[in-house]
Amino acid sequence: MSSIMPTYGRLPVTFTRGDGAVLFDHQDIPYLDALSGIAVTNLGHSHPEVTKAILEQTQTLVHTSNLYRIAQQERLAAELTALTSMTNVFFCNSGAEANETAIKLARRYGHNNGIQTPQIVVLEGAFHGRTMGALSATGNKAVQTAFAPLLPGFIRIDRDDTEALESLAHQRDDIAAVHIEPIQGESGIRPLSLDFLKSARRICDEQGWLLSFDEVQSGNGRCGALYAFQRLGVTPDVVVTAKGLGNGLPIGACMARGDAAKLLVAGDHGTTYGGNPLCCAAASAVINTLSRDQLWDRADIVRNYILEGVHSTLADPASIREVRGLGLMIGIEPVIRPDNLMVKALEERLLINVAGGDTIRLLPPLVMRGEEAHEVGAIVGQLINSLESN
Ligand SMILES: *Cc1c(COP(=O)(O)O)cnc(C)c1O
């Protein structure tokens, strides 16, 4: 540990294997995983079809180069575009990189339309990643200040502030895009209002701006559809995703349709690893497993088991201020701040997380069984009962 840069506050546990919604530590003690490595293992640990795809691909070919055609990449793009209204995909290695792609795409779009310094409208409370562009787009001063100067070209408005968006439309002629995290994850599972999302779509259409959604966390089945926008009924021009796409293998994607789909051309953008045969084979297994039985339908089922479990042990319903989120992005905000709750949960052999400082964040896998989900909820209820104000 000591020779690793201390960039993370780590809990004192090491896992050696995983199966479905359960992780086992070095003594083979099981822990219920209600976090999925932060929305990554949406199909659970060691999913047989993903494991098989990874094994077969490693035995055949791991990496070539984007200098050549890559069949696994073309297949994955075809699968993603068949299941969404997007038509073209760029593959990269992470959520931050997928956001960088959307930022470059928006700027390129602006330049193509004669805007010299194209601006991107972003929202307070949004998280888009840690690279400089994505960090500059993020609406959280705590993670930004130490790394100034940030990238210019972002205009920040409050979440759900349709009026602010309307007035930008009247005041400015240098906006290229609006970039939105439709259900803000890192800041505490805060869904944007449907009204705001629809207004953003309308204003973008009226102004000729691109609308892009950051579905790094909300995508890949987690919110009860392959991508949350499909359930919300608001179709952006650009969607970025990562996390659950590879179920643990690093892959991100920036998908687009319409004018945005073919904006980036040879020489504009690239990455060495992005879309390599191994990660694409894993992601294809993920997408096929999700879509074959519409596995995303389990999101609401598992969510309900968890919330039933919470209420089965909760001493006082008034100790919860709000339950937020969609499908398996679950935010539970207790009246008393859940400080140290990750540690207390770990003692109960449950993996959860606190987001935004005030909200218990649960991101369990779609494959979590009903009784496991009920158990997760029951432990969370007890943890909330044990909160003490200070
Ligand atoms: C996690 C996350 C990112 C960053 O993804 P990385 O793979 O960590 O770079 C970006 N946007 C959202 C919404 C996220 O949840």
DSSP 8-state code for residue 70: -
Domain end residue (candidates: 257, 292, 327): 292
Does 300 lie in the same domain as 281?
no
Does 232 lie in the same domain as 344?
no
Residue 379 lies in a domain: yes
Does 306 lie in the same domain as 282?
no
Polymer length in residues for the chain: 390
Coil, helix or strand for 241?
strand
Distance 171 CA to ligand 1 centre (A): 31
Does 346 lie in the same domain as 243?
no
H and E: helices and strands count for the chain:
13, 17
Contact by Cβ (8 Å): 257, 236:
no
Number of domains, the chain: 2
Residues 6+ positions from 325 with CB-CB distance below 8 Å: 183, 189, 191, 331
Residue 66 lies in a domain: yes
Distance 39 CA to ligand 1 centre (A): 10
Q: Where are the beta strands (DSSP E) in the chain?
A: 15-19, 22-25, 30-33, 88-92, 119-123, 154-157, 175-180, 183-184, 190-191, 210-214, 238-241, 252-256, 320-326, 329-334, 350-351, 353-355, 359-362
In whole angstroms, give the CA distance from residue 207 to residue 202. Answer: 9
Distance 258 CA to ligand 1 centre (A): 25
Provide the residue type at 106 as one letter. Answer: A
Distance 185 CA to ligand 1 centre (A): 9
Residue identifier of the C-alpha nearest atom 6 of ligand 1? 95
Distance 215 CA to ligand 1 centre (A): 9
Residue 83: closest CA among 212, 273, 253: 253
Does 124 lie in the same domain as 248?
yes
For 250, the domain range is 49-292
Q: Which atom of ligand 1 is nearest to the CA of 215?
A: 13
Residue 3 lies in a domain: no
Q: Which atom of ligand 1 is nearest to the CA of 214?
A: 13
Does 70 lie in the same domain as 28?
no
Residue 362: closest CA among 328, 334, 337, 387: 328
Residue 85 lies in a domain: yes
Of the residues 187, 243, 271, 279, which should be mutated to test ligand 1's pocket, given the most ligand atoms within 8 Å of the CB?
243
Contact by Cβ (8 Å): 97, 271:
yes
Residue 41 lies in a domain: no
Question: Residue 45 has which token pair?
Answer: 């640990």
Provide the residue type at 361 as one letter. Answer: R
Work out whether strand 119-123 and strand 88-92 pair parallel, antiparallel, or are unpaired: unpaired
Residue 8 lies in a domain: no
Q: Residue 51: how many CB atoms within 10 A of its CB? A: 14
Does 214 lie in the same domain as 71?
yes
Residue 385's CATH number = 3.90.1150.10
Does 175 lie in the same domain as 65?
yes
In tens digits, the chain (390 residues) has pLDDT values of 589 999 999 999 999 999 999 999 999 999 999 999 999 999 999 999 999 999 999 999 999 999 999 999 999 999 999 999 999 999 999 999 999 999 999 999 999 999 999 999 999 999 999 999 999 999 999 999 999 999 999 999 999 999 999 999 999 999 999 999 999 999 999 999 999 999 999 999 999 999 999 999 999 999 999 999 999 999 999 999 999 999 999 999 999 999 999 999 999 999 999 999 999 999 999 999 999 989 999 999 999 999 999 999 999 999 999 999 999 999 999 999 999 999 999 999 999 999 999 999 999 999 999 999 999 999 999 999 999 986
Residue in this structure with the two tokens 């297949």, named with its chain if needed: 75
pLDDT value at residue 1: 57
Does 117 lie in the same domain as 213?
yes
Domain end residue (candidates: 292, 319, 337): 292
Domain end residue (candidates: 268, 292, 316): 292
Residue 223's CATH number = 3.40.640.10
CA distances to 13, 170, 330 from 354, rounded to whole Å, are 17, 39, 11
Residue 163: alpha-carbon gap to chain centroid = 27
Residue 7 lies in a domain: no
Does 205 lie in the same domain as 267?
yes
Pocket of ligand 1 (CB under 6 A): 94-96, 99, 127-129, 181, 185-186, 214, 216-217, 242-243
Residues 6+ positions from 195 with CB-CB distance below 8 Å: 160, 162
In whole angstroms, give the CA distance from residue 150 to residue 223. Answer: 32
Residue 352 lies in a domain: yes
Does 369 lie in the same domain as 319?
yes
Q: Which atom of ligand 1 is nearest to the CA of 186?
A: 15
In whole angstroms, give the CA distance from residue 255 to residue 275. Answer: 13
Does 241 lie in the same domain as 137?
yes
